[in-house]
């Protein structure tokens, strides 16, 4: 079977178009036969990222950037959308993976993927949106380091300028004259110090004899103290013995006895206050007090009557005559006489 020239031409044309499309996709960073996973990330700025830039994972190129577009969403956040694909098979990104735009080397920009450590939450699917951040470029890093340094250098230069101006102002004509006047005052002060030293030397010479007498008196006093050393020792010994005797006295026993005595007195007072015992009854029973007063009064009346009319109570006879009265025994008569003798006249 013969193939016509027209059929051959058509087959060659279709193959050429297919190769052209595949080549264009390959140049764009896609797989030769397509079927790559694609993802989207949003950034605050592009960071000078361009399409066809490399997408790396741990320093290994796994895809390329497809597009970098400026978009304005409904939430009024004007951002940059970056689409990229992954040409490597069997690479999945856990939820929480971060896409970072940064410098891959000194001259090129690219995307660096930072895998999330927790894989229990699941994985992103092709077409999902990942979190994007823009790393500080080299110029920004240099600027952030140089700006504080330049401020410090500027401040140091300002301080040096002030110091130079101060030195210049010090050495002008006015400062020179002030310095000359200060030197003159220092010279005068040194001269005064010299005069004061001479006066002190003269005074020391005049007072030298008095100082010698004072030292002689001090030496005499020390000799007298040395001679009296034994007497002082005896006095100190007596004082020490007296203090030892005082220390060794039974102060504790005396205090204990006094404490016990006070306790006994308190007990007696408490008993009397409660109306117990003879003293308590005397203090608390008013009837007993009244009876004692009444008895004492009657007894005094009896004594007075005995002194006035003893014949009423003492039986005695004169020449055989009998006197009226109360007959008393010998023991009762002795007790009565003893009672009369004890009464104060």
Digit-coded pLDDT (tens) for 11-50: 778 777 777 766 665 555 555 455 578 999 999 888 889 8
Burial grade of 132 (CB within 10 A; 0-12, 13-18, 19 or more): buried
232's tokens: 């002082």
More confident residue, 288 or 142: 288
Name beta bridge partners: 112. Answer: 56, 100
- Closest by alpha carbon to 63, among 93, 31, 33, 40? 31
Q: Give the distance from CA 226 to its chain's centroid.
A: 58
Per-residue pLDDT for 84 more than 90? yes
> Percent of the chain at pLDDT above 90?
13
Give the residue with greater pLDDT, 171 vs 223. 223
Instruction: Please report, to the nearest 10 degrees, the dihedral formed by the alpha carbons of residues 306, 309, 315, 319 taken in order.
Output: 150
pLDDT higher than 70, residue 111: yes
Which pLDDT tens digit goes with each residue over 239-285? 777 666 666 656 667 778 888 888 888 888 777 777 676 666 666 66
Residues 6 or more apart from 92 whose CB is under 8 A from it? Answer: 123, 124
Name the residue among 165, 174, 112 with its Cα closest to residue 137.
112
Average pLDDT, the chain: 76
Q: What is the pLDDT of residue 318?
A: 47
Per-residue pLDDT at 140: 56
How many residues make up the chain in this entry?
345
- pLDDT over 80 at 57, yes or no: yes
Tokens matching residue 90: 């069997």
Measured between its terminal Cα atoms, the distance across the chain in Å is: 190
Cβ atoms of 157 and 70 within 8 Å: the answer is: no
pLDDT at 162: 78
Q: φ, ψ for residue 58 (rounded to 5)?
A: 60, 35
Higher pLDDT, 138 or 157: 157
| CA-closest candidate to residue 92, choices 115, 112, 111 | 115
Q: Are strands 37-43 and 78-86 parallel, antiparallel or unpaired?
A: antiparallel
Three-state SS annotation for 234-273? HHHHHHHHHHHHHHHCCHHHHHHHHHHHHHHHHHHHHHHH
Q: What SS3 class is residue 28?
A: coil
pTM for the full model?
0.36
Give 108 or 251, the one with higher predicted confidence. 108
Q: Which of 72, 168, 175, 81 is nearest to 129 (CA)?
A: 81
Distance, in Å, from the CA atom of 318 to the CA atom of 340, rounded to the nearest integer, reads 23
**pLDDT by residue (tens digit) across 166-188?**
666 655 555 566 667 777 888 88
Distances (CA, A) of 240 to 160, 226, 233, 251, 260: 78, 21, 10, 18, 32
Of 291 and 341, the one with more pLDDT: 291
Task: Write out pLDDT tens, residues 114-155.
Answer: 999 888 889 999 889 999 998 875 555 555 666 677 777 777
Q: Which pLDDT does position 83 carry in this prediction?
A: 93
Q: Looking at residue 59, what DSSP letter applies?
A: T
Report pLDDT for 282. 67
Q: Which structure tokens are listed for 19? A: 């190769």
Q: What is the pLDDT of residue 294?
A: 80
Secondary structure E strands in the chain? 37-43, 54-57, 60-72, 78-86, 98-103, 109-114, 129-134, 317-318, 321-322
Instruction: Report CA dihedral (306, 312, 318, 320) to the nearest 10 degrees.
Output: -150
């Amino acid at each position: 079977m013969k193939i016509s020239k027209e059929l051959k031409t058509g087959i060659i044309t279709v193959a050429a178009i297919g190769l052209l499309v595949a080549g264009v996709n390959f140049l764009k960073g896609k797989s030769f036969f397509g079927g790559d996973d694609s993802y989207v990330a949003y950034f605050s700025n592009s960071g000078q990222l361009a399409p066809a830039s490399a997408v790396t994972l741990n320093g290994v190129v796994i895809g390329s950037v497809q597009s970098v577009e400026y978009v304005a969403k409904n939430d009024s956040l004007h951002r940059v959308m970056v689409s990229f694909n992954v040409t490597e098979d069997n690479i999945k990104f856990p939820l929480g993976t971060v896409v970072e735009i940064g410098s891959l080397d000194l001259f090129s920009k690219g995307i660096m993927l930072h895998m999330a450590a927790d894989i229990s939450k699941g994985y992103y699917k092709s077409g999902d949106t990942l979190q994007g951040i823009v790393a500080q470029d080299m110029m920004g890093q240099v600027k952030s380091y140089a700006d504080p340094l330049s401020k410090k250098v500027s401040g140091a230069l300002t301080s040096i300028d002030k110091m130079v101006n101060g030195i210049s102002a010090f050495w002008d004509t006015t400062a020179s004259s002030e310095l000359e006047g200060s030197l003159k005052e220092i010279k005068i002060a040194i001269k005064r110090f010299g005069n004061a030293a001479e006066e002190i030397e003269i005074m020391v010479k005049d007072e030298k004899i008095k100082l010698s007498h004072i030292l002689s008196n001090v030496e005499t006093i020390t000799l007298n103290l040395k001679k009296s050393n034994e007497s002082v020792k005896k006095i100190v010994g007596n004082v020490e013995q007296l203090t030892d005797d005082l220390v060794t006295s039974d102060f504790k026993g005396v205090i204990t006895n006094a404490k016990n005595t006070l306790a006994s007195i308190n007990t007696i007072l408490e008993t009397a206050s409660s109306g117990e015992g003879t003293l308590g009854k005397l203090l608390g029973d008013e009837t007993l007090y009244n009876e004692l007063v009444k008895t004492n009064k009657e007894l005094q009346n009896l004594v007075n009557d005995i002194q006035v009319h003893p014949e009423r109570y003492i039986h005695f006879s004169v020449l055989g005559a009998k006197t009226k009265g109360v007959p008393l025994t010998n023991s009762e008569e002795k007790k009565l006489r003893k009672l009369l003798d004890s009464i104060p006249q």
